[in-house]
Amino acid sequence: MTNPIKVFINRLFKKQSLTVNEATTAPLTEQQIREIAEETHRYQPPQLLVGSGRDVGLVRNNNEDSLFTFIATMATEKRSLPFGIFIVADGMGGHQNGEIASEKAVRAMSTHIIKKLYTPLFGIQPHPPQESLQEIMEQGVLEAHRAVMRNAPGGGSTLTAVLVLGNQMTVAHLGDSRAYVIQRDGRMQAVTRDHSLVRRLEELGQITPEEAAVHPQKAMLYRALGQGEPSEPDISNHSFPHPGYVLICSDGLWNVVPEDKILRIINGATDLNQACADLIEAANAMGGPDNVAVIIVSLSD
């Protein structure tokens, strides 16, 4: 074993002995490597990075969750402008109507935003949109509602849509999917409020969180798409967390995997798609009782 070539070959092929021998020196993490690499030079304009994941779970037969992501980067001499649309919808109602409802909701919402915002801003003769971001999101939710009513009668869907434009983030929300803002320092805060009956009872102090967790009407929503009269969405504006992440997910994730675990997984993953996969695996490890749709977004630089 003193032959240096043998040692070298051993190192190449006996990975296990290598890690044992050199266990005292921890290998660099992906992030450290990136940081070192970044010190040399940065070629990327500010841009959105996205990961997503979707799974039926271990109990259900069909997947009623839909998601949509869209990112654009335009970097010119005049300005760099990250742009992104991220939507999660969780459908409900029998006879495949849940699947159709969430799909139609996502399609209608994304189409509306692209038509009203993407085309004017990124077209050959760019012009600022006529409507405010708030109004565009409101109208988009209305379009999504109509699409669900038309295509999935009797069905319904939640809708949590995040529009990112530069540093602005506008969130439109109906139902009990959630959007979270996660700061790099570990603060994680939901920027949406669940429109669930049980959550409302809890907010009003009528029932305790423990009672809420086992309430028979846990899944009952008091606002959603496709339920007769259009429901008024919650629309809110935030600065995009930078550095940090935005997490959008259906209740199949947040209801099953505790927040601190979600946070640990996101902070520990090497890239955003891996993080989404790890989150779904965590939900399935807890029994996978529901469909999961999850999107994680961050802003580079």
Partner 1 sequence: MKEGDLLQDRYEIQEIVGAGGMGSVYRARDTNFKAIRLVAIKEMISQVTDPLVRRNILNIFEREANILATLRHPAIPRIYDYFSRGDRAYLVLEFVHGKDLDQILSQTTTFFPPEQVFTWAVELCDVLHYLHSHEPEPIVFRDVKPSNIMVNLQNHIVLVDFGIAKVFQAGQKNTMVGTQGYSPPDQYRGEATPKVDIYALGATIHHLLTLRDPRLEAPFSFDERPIKDINPDIPPEMIAVIDRSLQYDPDNRFESAEEMRDALLNAAHKTGTLLDLNLPTASYSRKAGIKPLWTFECEDEIRGTPALYEGTLCVGCYDNNLYALDASSGEFKWKYATDGGIPGRPAVLGGNMFFGSEDHRLHVVSTQSGKVVWTYFTDAPIRSSPRIAESHVFIGSDDAYLHAVNVNSGRMTWKAEASSPVRSTPFITNELVYFGTEEGDFYAIDFRGEVKWHFKAKRAVTASPVVVGDAVYFTSLDGTLYALDAHSGWVVWRFRMGKGSISSPCVIDNLLFVGSADKAIYCVDIRTAKETWRFNTDHQVSGSPVVYKDSIYCGSVDGHLYCIDYQSGQLRWKFGTEGPVTGTPLVHDDIVYFGSTDKKLYALLA
* Interaction site with partner 1 (CB under 8 A): 79, 81, 128-129, 131-135, 165-168, 170, 208-209, 234-239
- Which residue, 74 or 220, has its beta carbon nearer to partner 1? 74
CB 148 within 8 A of CB 101: yes
Q: Integer distance in angstroms from the first to the last C-alpha of the chain? A: 47
- Which residue, 135 or 203, has its beta carbon nearer to partner 1? 135
In the complex, minimum distance from the CB of residue 256 to partner 1, in angstroms, rounded to a whole number: 19
- Which residue, 170 or 284, has its beta carbon nearer to partner 1? 170
Which residues face 293 on adjacent strands? 54
The one-letter amino acid code at 298 reads: S
**Residue tagged 């074993």 (tokens):** 1
Alpha carbon separation from 21 to 11, 26, 27, 76, 140 (Å, rounded): 10, 11, 13, 51, 59
- Which residue, 21 or 167, has its beta carbon nearer to partner 1? 167
In the complex, minimum distance from the CB of residue 50 to partner 1, in angstroms, rounded to a whole number: 20
In the complex, minimum distance from the CB of residue 85 to partner 1, in angstroms, rounded to a whole number: 15
> Which residues are CB-contacts of 188 (< 8 A; sequence separation ≥ 6)?
180, 181, 182, 247, 259, 262, 263
- Which residue, 96 or 239, has its beta carbon nearer to partner 1? 239
- Distance of alpha carbon 233 from the chain centroid: 18
Nearest in space to 187 (alpha carbons), one of 113, 250, 266:
266
What is the β-pairing status of strands 159-165 and 156-157?
unpaired
- Distance of alpha carbon 207 from the chain centroid: 29
- Which residue, 27 or 205, has its beta carbon nearer to partner 1? 205
- Which residue, 81 or 256, has its beta carbon nearer to partner 1? 81
In the complex, minimum distance from the CB of residue 130 to partner 1, in angstroms, rounded to a whole number: 9
Which residues face 165 on adjacent strands? 83, 168
In the complex, minimum distance from the CB of residue 122 to partner 1, in angstroms, rounded to a whole number: 13
Angle at 190 between CA 184 and CA 193, to 5 degrees: 170
- Pair of tokens at residue 120: 């004017």
In the complex, minimum distance from the CB of residue 78 to partner 1, in angstroms, rounded to a whole number: 10
CB 200 within 8 A of CB 220: no
CB 195 within 8 A of CB 224: yes
In the complex, minimum distance from the CB of residue 90 to partner 1, in angstroms, rounded to a whole number: 23
CB 171 within 8 A of CB 295: no
In the complex, minimum distance from the CB of residue 106 to partner 1, in angstroms, rounded to a whole number: 23
- Which residue, 83 or 291, has its beta carbon nearer to partner 1? 83
